[in-house]
Amino acid sequence: MYHPKLLIVDDVWSSFGSANLDQRSLRLNDEATLNVYGKDFAKTQVDLFNQDLQRSRQISFEEWQARPLLDKLTDWFASRLGSQL
């Protein structure tokens, strides 16, 4: 699974990568963040984000609560491993 983080500042500075701001990411995991200074690159990232947003849909709290029991159990077990994930 790839879950990158993206930050764009003033439409000119982009920072993206896999690192989280937690002790595990900062000390143990082999994660990286790339910083790019440039308006063209930042605009491309904004455009890609907007394309992704158009293909997404909002999930209501009611939908979340009505998810299948197997999903709820999987989520519960995964939450027990939170410090290791």
Residue-wise pLDDT for 23-45, tens only, equals 777 777 777 889 999 999 999 99
Q: Is the pTM of this model over 0.85?
A: no
Residues 16 and 4 sit within 8 Å (Cβ to Cβ): yes
Residues contacting 39, CB < 8 A, separation 6+: 11, 12
- Tell me how far apart the alpha carbons of residues 8 and 12 are, in angstroms, rounded to a whole number: 7
